Amino acid sequence: MIINGDFEIISWDEETYSNVGERAKMTRASVSQSFEGDFEGDGQVEYLMAYSDDTTARFVGQQWISGHVGERTGSVVLQISGTFDGETAQATWTVVDGTGTEDFRGVTGQGGFTAPLGDRAAYTFDLTFPDAGSSDAAAE
């Protein structure tokens, strides 16, 4: 099942924990989000980021999302890996096996997001629910 939508950043709390060059640094960010579109719900993510002297960055994270896709309700944890080119963040997500609850129990999949500077981003997921058999081409 392919799902798409947007999320809004509700809060972003980022702190430097190591300076490693003139402008290079390592940071940790706690972020809250609100999702709209085919998946509606909330998210909480913890990012670890490494900024280069040119202020581009690479980041990894673990994200918990909770909400609904169609009539399916539940939560799941996503593993994130991405880059920031100074203007836009892009990342891929993978569902962490065994973390789904309620109707998301056993869900698998991957996706990602594109986030230009600001508080909104576009997301996409390709999810397979255990009772759905094969991937569908559209959200329910």
Among the listed residues 8, 41, 39, 36, the one whose alpha carbon sits nearest the alpha carbon of residue 118: 8
% pLDDT > 90, the chain: 88
Does pLDDT of 106 surpass 50? yes
How far apart (Å, rounded) are the C-alpha atoms in residues 126 and 106? 14
Confidence category of residue 131, pLDDT binned at 50, 70, 90: confident
Sign of the dihedral defined by the CA atoms of residues 66, 84, 126, 106, in that order: negative
Q: Which domains does the chain have, with CATH numbers?
A: 2-132 (2.40.350.10)
Does pLDDT of 135 surpass 90? no
For 77-95, write each residue's pLDDT tens digit.
999 999 999 999 999 999 9
Confidence category of residue 49, pLDDT binned at 50, 70, 90: very high
pLDDT value at residue 132: 62
